[in-house]
Amino acid sequence: MRLQKYLAMCGVASRRKAEEYIQSGKIMVNDEVITEMGYVVDPDADIVSYNGKPVSQNEELVYILLNKPKGYITTLSDEFNRKKVTDLIDVPQRIFPVGRLDCNTTGLLILTNDGDLTYRLTHPRFKVEKVYVSRITGRPIPDKIKAFETGLSIEDYVTSPAKFQIIRHDGKNTIAEITIREGRNRQIRKMCDAIGHPVIDLKRVAMGKLELDQLSLGEWRYLTTDEIKYLKKL
């Protein structure tokens, strides 16, 4: 089994993050630092360590859905000592977010220690739909909505086709439902900026078939067995 996949299955981090740990020399196999990305381990014979501590697959896998409030970051460490989403959840396992929501975005966030599932849900080729409700400035004309839906040039990439549906107009602003299948850094905010209608508020309300339902801001719950099975089939 490849080292990064084994680390993900042990709940150390997502597969992508595990690759960063390997490159930075934080992973040892049988007391030897390994920086080779394709390194293969035998889970039954090799001793794998992260930051000097052995890791194993014995930890129970957990799957959590959180309604993220504003002011919390989705990284596990921060040089500015800001509040983290993991501060809101009291479980014995070391969990990490599936993808990211920026500090000022609220809504649905999955956290788990299943690194393999995290990889599947965040990799663009699996095209998991993410639905947001956004309040933006002004009222976009049809041409701008069409540009949003067909693809926008942002920085060094062009966005994939998206969905943009106006829910209602709120005075001078617009409430819209936006659906994307990517998850680039601050992507929806950048897309709205690109059509001249910056985001005022942004909330993720669904990821695939998973929805927030009645969870209040800051509340969390374990995913049901059916929800876990659904995610693993994606």
**Residues belonging to the active site:** 102
Q: How far is CA 207 from CA 127, 129, 149, 203, in A?
A: 11, 6, 19, 12
Other C-beta atoms lying within 10 Å of the C-beta of residue 65:
23
Q: Is residue 188 within 8 Å of 106, Cβ to Cβ?
A: no
Q: How far is CA 144 from CA 1, 157, 164, 166, 183, in A?
A: 48, 18, 10, 12, 21
Q: Is residue 22 within 8 Å of 37, Cβ to Cβ?
A: yes
